[in-house]
Amino acid sequence: MTNNTESRENTVLIGKKPNMAYVMAVVTQFGAGQNEIHIKARGRAISKCVDVAEIVKNKFFKDAKVKSITIATEQVETEKGEKFGVSTMNITLTK
Amino acid sequence: MTNNTESRENTVLIGKKPNMAYVMAVVTQFGAGQNEIHIKARGRAISKCVDVAEIVKNKFFKDAKVKSITIATEQVETEKGEKFGVSTMNITLTK
Measured CA to CA, the distance from residue A39 to residue A55 in angstroms comes to 12
Burial track B1-37 (b if 16+ CB lie within 10 A, e otherwise): eeeeeeeeebbbebeeeeeeebbbbbbebbeeebeeb
Measured CA to CA, the distance from residue B29 to residue A32 in angstroms comes to 47
What pTM, to 2 d.p., does this model score?
A: 0.88
pLDDT of residue A6: 42
Beta strands of chain A (E only): which ranges?
11-13, 36-42, 65-77, 83-94
Residues of chain B with Cβ-Cβ distance to A46 below 8 Å are: 46-47, 50
* Closest C-alpha among A67, A74, A58, A5 to residue A38: A67
* Closest C-alpha among A83, A87, A79, A76 to residue A40: A87
pLDDT of residue B8: 64
pLDDT in tens, A36-95: 999 999 999 999 999 999 999 999 999 999 999 999 999 999 899 999 999 999 999 999
User: Nearest CA of chain A to the CA of B78: how many Å?
Assistant: 19
Residues of chain B with Cβ-Cβ distance to A53 below 8 Å are: 71
Residues of chain B with Cβ-Cβ distance to A87 below 8 Å are: 47, 50-51, 54
Chain-chain contact of A47 with B47 (C-beta, under 8 angstroms): yes
pLDDT of residue B9: 76
pLDDT in tens, B59-89: 999 999 999 999 999 999 989 999 999 999 9
Name B66's bridge partners.
B93
The residue type of A25 is A
Domains, in order of start, for chain B? 8-94 (3.30.110.20)
Mode of pairing for the β-strands spanning A11-13 and A36-42: parallel
Q: Does A93 touch chain B (CB under 8 A)?
A: no
Nearest CB to A71; choose among B45, B69, B73: B69
Chain-chain contact of B87 with A51 (C-beta, under 8 angstroms): yes
Helix and strand tally (H, E) in chain A? 3, 4
